[in-house]
Structure 1
Amino acid sequence: MDLPPVGLGTMGIDDPDAVATALSLGYRHLDTARIYDNEAVVGEGLAAGLTDDDLDREDVTVATKLWIDDLAADSVGPAARESADRLGVDAVDLLYVHRPRGDYDPETALPALDRLVTEGLVRNVGVSNFDVPDLDRAIDALDRPPAAHQTELHPLFYRAELLDHAREHDYSVVAYSPLAGGRVREVDAVVEVAEARDATPESVAIAWATAKEPVVAVPKASTEAHLRANLIAADLELTDEEVAAIDAVEREEELFPE
Structure 2
Amino acid sequence: MSKTIELNNGLLIPRVGYGTFRVPEGADLAAAVKTAIKEGYRLIDTAAIYENEASVGQGIREAIAEGLVTREELFITSKAWNDGISYEETLQAYDDALARMELDYLDLYLLHWPGTKNDFIPQWEALEKIYADKRVKSIGVSNFHVHHLEKLLKETTIVPAVNQIELNPLQTQKQVHAFCIEKGIQIEAWSPLMNAEILEHATLKTIASKYGKTTAQIILRWQTQTDIVTIPKSMTSSRIAENIAIFDFDLDGEDILLIEALNEDGHYGPDPEGFDFGR
Q: The TM-score by the shorter chain falls in which range?
A: over 0.9
Do structure 1's residue 135 and structure 2's residue 149 form an aligned pair? yes
State the match for 2:69 in structure 1: 55
Comparing both structures, which one devotes a greater share of its residues to helix?
1
Of 120, 124, 127, the residue aligned with 2:134 is 120
Q: Which SS does the other structure have where 1:8 is aligned?
A: strand
Residue 188 (structure 1) shift: 1.8
Residue 136 (structure 1) shift: 1.6
**How far apart, in 2, do the equivalents of 1:249 and 1:37 lie?**
34
State the match for 1:204 in structure 2: 218
Residue 238 (structure 1) shift: 0.6
Do structure 1's residue 67 and structure 2's residue 77 form an aligned pair? no
Q: Deviations over 1:22-56 (max 9, x none)?
A: 11111100100000000001000000111243521
Q: Which SS does the other structure have where 1:110 is aligned?
A: helix
TM-score, with length taken from structure 2:
0.87
State the match for 1:5 in structure 2: 15
Given that 1:68 and 1:104 are in contact with CA atoms closer than 8 Å, whether structure 2 keeps it comes out as: no
**How far apart, in 2, do the equivalents of 1:12 and 1:108 lie?**
28
Structure 2 matches for 1:30-45, cutoff 5 A? 30-45=44-59
TM-score, with length taken from structure 1:
0.94
Residue 141 (structure 1) shift: 3.5
**How far apart, in 1, do the equivalents of 2:143 and 2:263 lie?**
22
Task: Pick which of 130-139 and 101-110 moved more.
Answer: 101-110
Q: Deviations over 1:135-185 (max 9, x none)?
A: 122223443211100001111112111221121111211101111111222
Structure 2 matches for 1:100-249, cutoff 5 A? 100-101=114-115, 105-213=119-227, 215-249=228-262
* Structure 1 residues not aligned, in runs of 5+: none
* Structure 2 residues not aligned, in runs of 5+: 1-6, 272-279
Q: How many residues align?
A: 257
Identity %: 29
Residue 118 (structure 1) shift: 1.9
Letter of the 2:55 partner, please give it.
V
Q: 1:183 to 1:108 in 2, by over 3 A?
A: same
Pairwise CA RMSD of aligned residues?
1.7
Q: Deviations over 1:179-228 (max 9, x none)?
A: 11112223222111001111111111111122223x11000012221111
- State the 4+ residue runs in structure 1 displaced beyond 3 angstroms: none
**How far apart, in 2, do the equivalents of 1:165 and 1:250 lie?**
18
